[in-house]
Amino acid sequence: MAAPGGGATVDVLVVGDANPDLLLTGDTVPRFGQAEQLLDSAELLLGGSAAIVACGLARLGVRTGLAAVVGDDQFGTVVLDRLRAGGVDVSAVTVDPDRPTGLSVVLSEPGDRAILTLPGTIPVLTVEAARAAIERLRPRHVHFASYFLLPGLAAELPALLDEVRAAGATVSIDTNWDPAEQWAGLEEVLARVDLFLPNREEALAIAAAVAGRAFAELDEAAAALSALGCRVVVKAGADGGVAFEGGARVAAAPGLVLDVVDTTGAGDSFDAGYVASLLADVAEESDRLRWAAVAGSLSVRGTGGTGAQATRDELAAHTEVPV
């Protein structure tokens, strides 16, 4: 695998899922028996954790590419058009003529949401396609998203991670939720990444799966995960983020207090803020967490994952770290 560096085509390659989100708000708790319910709004937005992270990075001024698969259909066209409009390099997004583009229906309530996902082309992404994108685009950093939706890639990910790190790039992963709630296969992965970005519930579930026992406290679970060799940065919603390294808690930073419009994708924008801080060589962990927490907080100002993502200037206005 070619070494990253001065000839890089992108600074970050995000590998994972890309699909539209059909965001529904209002009376969204389904009642069967042919009951008709009236919604407040319905919007077709760019979704997929990887796609949202990629757009967040691009909006922060980071040269970013995406490796994913979409279908040869209207939803695939929507995804590609919106990624391009967001400044993301889509040269590694493959169009599959035989499968429909994945789709998520998001039932959004003020404090929570439910997500119904048609996998479609999402699981089709292969390790060979990811490897080819990395070799061609030569990123300084590779971020993997939605591990549990990509079983083919996940099965061969440890070997790919060894190659990427041997070539000199840094690596992060946000597994997102496991629909099967098995949380399997991550011990070898977390031992090979630089950075793991779960939320509270994911950290507790994955730590239990790895250790073979339940954890009562988040700090204990995240510390155990970080003992595998990666830095663990836990997304804590309005409370911001907390970092663990070498089996210990090392830093925390709060988010912003804002009027929430929609929390969809806030965790992905948090990821983008943190990775952007790494690319900007921000030295202090508390400052990196602040970048991430502010980026995640600002994203809730608008609907969907990408509608209100932070710009570099907005990040500067809410942090004490030069951006």
159-218 confidence digits (pLDDT tens): 999 999 999 999 999 999 999 999 999 999 999 999 999 999 999 999 999 999 999 999
Q: What is the pLDDT of residues 230-275, one digit of tens each?
A: 999 999 987 899 999 999 999 999 999 889 887 889 999 999 999 9
- CA 323, CA 318: separation in Å to the nearest integer? 11
CA distance 256 to 273: 14
CA atoms within 13 A on the CB side of 43: 17
Name the token pair of 318: 């809410």
C-alpha dihedral over 250, 239, 268, 323, to 10 degrees? -70
Average pLDDT over residues 300-320: 91
DSSP secondary structure letter of residue 102: P
Say how far apart CA 244 and CA 142 lie, in whole Å: 20
Across the range 12-38, mean pLDDT stands at: 94
The mean pLDDT of the chain is 94
pLDDT in tens, 69-80: 999 999 999 999
| Whether the Cβ atoms of residue 66 and residue 89 lie closer than 8 Å to each other | yes
Token pair 């031992």 is found at 191
Average of per-residue pLDDT across 278-285 = 95
Q: How far is the C-alpha of 282 from the C-alpha of 323, rounded, in Å?
A: 9
Average pLDDT value for residue range 304-322: 88
> Which H or E element spans position 277?
helix 266-279
pLDDT tops 50 at residue 6: no
pLDDT score recorded for residue 188: 97
The closest of 93, 91, 86 to 70, measured between CA atoms, is: 93
Residue 158 in this model has a pLDDT that exceeds 80: yes
Residue 3 has pLDDT above 70, yes or no: no
Query: Per the structure block, which two tokens stand in for 239?
Result: 């409370």
**Buried-exposed string 107-135: b where 16+ CB fall within 10 A, e elsewhere:** bbeeeebeeebebbbbbbbbbebbbebbe
- Which pLDDT score, from 0 to 100, does residue 17 have? 98
CB-count burial class (<10 Å; 0-12, 13-18, 19+) for 312: middle
Whether the predicted pLDDT of 4 surpasses 60 = no
Does residue 287 have a pLDDT over 50?
A: yes
Q: What percent of the chain has pLDDT over 90?
A: 85
Kindly report the backbone phi and psi dihedral angles of residue 318, in degrees, each rounded to the nearest multiple of 5, phi listed first: -115, 10
Higher pLDDT, 289 or 319: 289
C-alpha 7, offset from chain centre:
26
248 phi and psi angles, rounded to 5 deg = -140, 150
User: Is the CATH number of domain 12-317 3.20.20.70?
Assistant: no
| pLDDT tens per residue across span 140-153 | 999 999 999 999 99
CA dist., res. 68 & res. 82, Å (int): 14
Q: Would you tell me the crossing angle of helices 127-137 and 157-166 to the nearest 10 degrees?
A: 10
For residue range 79-129, what is the model confidence (pLDDT) as tens digits? 999 999 999 999 999 999 999 999 999 898 777 778 899 999 999 999 999
The whole-number pLDDT of residue 321 equals: 61
Strands of the sheet containing 64-71, edge to edge, are 89-96, 64-71, 12-15, 141-145, 170-174, 195-196, 231-235, 241-245, 248-253
User: Which segments within the chain are labelled E, that is strand?
Assistant: 12-15, 19-26, 39-47, 64-71, 89-96, 103-109, 112-118, 141-145, 170-174, 195-196, 231-235, 241-245, 248-253
| DSSP H helices in 60-215 | 74-85, 127-137, 151-155, 157-166, 187-190, 200-211
Instruction: Please answer whether residues 195 and 289 qualify as being in contact, where contact means their C-beta atoms are separated by less than 8 angstroms.
Output: no
Q: Is residue 313 pLDDT above 80, yes or no?
A: yes
Question: Which residues does residue 249 pair with via DSSP β-bridges, in sequence order?
Answer: 244
pLDDT single digits (tens) 129-140: 999 999 999 999
- Name the residue ranges covered by the structural domains of the chain: 12-317
